[in-house]
Structure 1
Amino acid sequence: MPQTDDRADSPAQRCPVTQFAADFNPFDEDYLQDPYSVFTRARQEEPVFYSPEIDYWVVSRYEDVLAIFRDTASFSATAAGELIKPPCPAAMEKLAEVDFVPSTMLVDEDAPLHTKRRRVLRKGVTDAKVAEIEPLTRRFVSACLDAVVREGRADLVGDLTFEVPALTAFVLMGVPEAEVARVRGYASRFALWIWGRPSDEQQVALAEEFAAYLVYAREHVERLIENPGDDYMSNAIRAWAKNGDDEVWDRTYLASIMQSHLYASHETTTNAAAGGFKVLLEHPGQWAELCADPSLIPGAVEEILRYASSVPTWRRVATRDVTVGGQDIRAGERLLVLTGSANHDEEIFADGDSFDIHRENADRHLAFGWGVHHCLGQALARMEMRVMLEEVAKRLPHLRLTPDQEWTYSPNTSFRGPDHVLVEWDPAANPVDADRP
């Protein structure tokens, strides 16, 4: 139910809540199925409005969203990782059992600490490192396709887009091959924990997973401290050992990096790739074009990121009184910035609600944020999506969506992608001889 805001000079008093704003609910099933129709109405009717349902200002136009990302003095990232629903006592007990200590992540840090940490961590995901990992990612994709190509049906999420980003993330984070089976269980879709309203029962289950992975993350960090390798985590550990600066690095934060960056690099790419296959197969003409001309794939990746953003909203908090889109926002008030809406804004993207793999300015999207918080793993995500599309287009160009399937999405504010993408094809028509029954 919408919240009642009786505070003096509250957002609801300064910005009278219209019916549209009162009805805005990012956890509603209609919204989860199609947030973009809501986004279009927002841009047209109320580009900036206050939502009593979530107690956030909602910002929908490209220029306003970009201005918020750019103005780090007025808008802090500290709200990005806040739990929408605080943990229930039983979930807190699960965390206490492993001596959990809250720690920030890059996404919810501000300068100067964020700047110091990011300068080091970005060295672990350089273009050269991504190029080094690409053959392994391609091997993972091929193995996933080998397992299903003769079957004639698959769930692209369970059989491909969940598995490949997880395995690639393990390589990036230095997880030994012998431990992949153990760690795979920790690569759960975790958006519900931070950005959703899980039931108490769900919170307890998620807390158990979180706690188990935290134990592993600590073990992994200690092992790499003793014997660092050539990976993302070892890069951070070397910086910690070299600097000896516990204000910037400590063991708690190193474990937090291990834990949070696996979720960040895995879940977002799973969602982006799953959403990409869905929208391409909903546009069979464009899928056929892509299969006939693989040089179109990099552009298609950008259009997927724009059109079906896996992170359609993000959060900020005002550090001082500001005006956004004509609305006065006070220091301490929170903002939900609709990056997915910005990516459809007709002022930037002609016919923005249409999907077009030939769109020339698709790369102006804000799917990876902007500025000092521009996603560190964007090159990795692009590579993984490109490789998945290349291999599937080569081996299963006759792929089609299973008719009349039900589309479901995790009920959270910020991460979006279909839980399943059911597909089918005729194995006898597989273009690669070795792939036929």
Structure 2
Amino acid sequence: MMSVDSTQSMKMESPHPAAGVCPVTGFGGPTTALKSPTGCPVTEGAAEFDPFRGSYQADPAVALAEARRNEPVFYSPVLDYWVVTRYNDVKEIFKNPDLFSAAITLEQVTPISDEALDILDASNFAPGPTIVNEDEPIHGERRRALFQPFEQDSVALLEPRIREVINNYIDKFAARGEADLVDDLFYEVPCIVALIFLGVPDEDIETCRQFGMQQTLFTWGRPEVSEQVRVAEGMAAFWIFAGELVERLKKTPDAPGWIPHAIRVQAEHPDLITDNYLQNIMMSGILAAHETTTNASGNALRTLLENREAWEAIVNDPDLIPKAVEECLRFSGSVVAWRRMTTDDAAVGGVEIPAGSRLLIVMASANRDESIFPEPDVFDINRANARRHLTFGLGIHTCMGASLARLEMKVFLTELTRRLPGLKLKQAQDFTYLPNTSFRGPEHVLVEWDPAANPLPSDRT
């Protein structure tokens, strides 16, 4: 059995976990008649944990506060997953990819219906492994080969184009006095930036944008059959388009962008980067660079505007914006949780977990662990260790696009505070989120301001 806790990861001789001692638990009340796969009783809180509704959807970090204190690793019968909530346990799992495989990261939480599967099969949809759900040694080989466009210096070259796109969108509503920041700004801009980063030609950007990315609900949610069918139709159409686009990009391999870079790598290493792999990273790259940044930006603006002193601080001193970005990512990041599977019997936080078990590792909860972040529920843009958050993961699976996401968020905040410093949240609005286990961002952020007070004369009419 392999053991992972707050201080160690080591090979041990041990009986099967079922023979171990059940940990003392106290999440949400007494134990129930339900049993975990190791034969231990399931507490009321664990039995009632449902990531698709209720408090987890409202705020996963708050929903799991009691678990962090009293039962930091628990079995969820609703999910058939072990849920990990504390910082050090999540960190050690990320650092031990041999014991905790990423292979299930992109599996559907809810099994695909036959109707949806038929639609995907008809398009020859073949979502093979990508960097996010590959294990060693192939993961490291591909990551190293494909990483150059993600280096900070390379990403920085995109800043003028990102700033231009953002300001073009702000131009459309600056004098209006009200906006939905998600619909009017955060949904569209990251999609365009993602496509520019990938190297999609300008004439194809609008086509790609119209497809939209609905994979979040399909993969990490609990959609009804009719919804699965609708999403499958969109994914099938985009899969076909992505393959055609890759073939066209092969005709201009010297063009800028991640996909042209991958095509050049393929020419030297055809066994490492196949055509199917190129098609997969075209689709997954848009999801990763678009939807997660959309969500992170929506979370950030909601958080900053609810904490007015922080908003006023970055209005008055833009040099604080990078620090504000990190605290926003810690306090309300867009990537709530990842999934892993044990390759051997393991112990996490003193809880014995059998080989082949699925784990939901909740970074949003880890980012509010008071043993790492003092007063974790206080939003503080001057927090000294905010950058220790686990929103981008850790170790070999650290998010490749972290520099791009940080840059986009920085430019969003820079331009919004410069042009619309009087932004306020509209009163009495309900913030809603797409129900799923892993990605979180408000579907709408309604704001208002007095256009007559805008600093730029061109934004007042």
Matched, 1:270 2:294: yes
Deviations 1:246-296 (A, max 9, x none): xx2211111001001110111111000000000000011110111000000
Identity %: 47
- Any stretches of 5+ residues in structure 1 without a counterpart? 1-7
Report if the CA contact (8 A) 1:400-1:423 is conserved.
yes
Q: What are the equivalent positions in structure 2 for 1:7-22 lying under 5 Å apart?
A: 11-22=36-47
Report if the CA contact (8 A) 1:58-1:335 is conserved.
yes
How far off its partner does 1:242 sit? 1.0
Deviations 1:131-162 (A, max 9, x none): 11111110111011000001111000111111
- The aligned counterpart of 2:13 is none
1:403 counterpart (399, 409, 427)? 427
Letter in 2 for 1:178: E
CA distance in 2, matches of 1:363, 1:115: 24
**SS of residue in 1 equivalent to 2:356:** coil
Letter in 1 for 2:279: A
Letter in 2 for 1:66: K
Letter in 2 for 1:407: F
Deviations 1:391-433 (A, max 9, x none): 0000011000010011110100000010000000111111111
Q: What are the equivalent positions in structure 2 for 1:34-433 lying under 5 Å apart?
A: 34-228=59-253, 229-245=255-271, 248-433=272-457
**SS of residue in 2 equivalent to 1:337:** strand
CA distance in 2, matches of 1:96, 1:47: 40
Report if the CA contact (8 A) 1:77-1:315 is conserved.
yes
How far off its partner does 1:189 sit? 4.3
Report if the CA contact (8 A) 1:189-1:267 is conserved.
no
CA distance in 2, matches of 1:203, 1:275: 27
Report if the CA contact (8 A) 2:419-2:456 is conserved.
yes
How far off its partner does 1:31 sit? 2.1
**SS of residue in 1 equivalent to 2:340:** strand
How far off its partner does 1:112 sit? 0.7
**SS of residue in 1 equivalent to 2:183:** helix
CA distance in 2, matches of 1:31, 1:98: 35
Q: How many residues align?
A: 428
Matched, 1:27 2:52: yes
Deviations 1:44-73 (A, max 9, x none): 110111000100101111000000000112
Report if the CA contact (8 A) 1:174-1:230 is conserved.
yes
CA distance in 2, matches of 1:55, 1:396: 47
Letter in 2 for 1:202: E
Report if the CA contact (8 A) 2:38-2:353 is conserved.
no
How far off its partner does 1:227 sit? 1.7
Deviations 1:340-363 (A, max 9, x none): 111110000000111111111000
User: Considering only aligned residues, what root-mean-square deviation do their CA atoms show, in Å?
Assistant: 1.2
Letter in 1 for 2:311: W
**SS of residue in 2 equivalent to 1:17:** strand
How far off its partner does 1:221 sit? 0.9
CA distance in 2, matches of 1:43, 1:31: 14
Report if the CA contact (8 A) 2:336-2:362 is conserved.
yes
Deviations 1:295-329 (A, max 9, x none): 00000000000000111111100000111111101
CA distance in 2, matches of 1:176, 1:391: 26
**SS of residue in 2 equivalent to 1:185:** helix
How far off its partner does 1:12 sit? 4.3
Deviations 1:90-128 (A, max 9, x none): 211221221112311211100011111101111121222
What TM-score do you get using the length of structure 2 for normalisation? 0.91
What TM-score do you get using the length of structure 1 for normalisation? 0.96
Report if the CA contact (8 A) 1:15-1:327 is conserved.
no
Report if the CA contact (8 A) 1:121-1:235 is conserved.
yes
Report if the CA contact (8 A) 1:165-1:269 is conserved.
yes
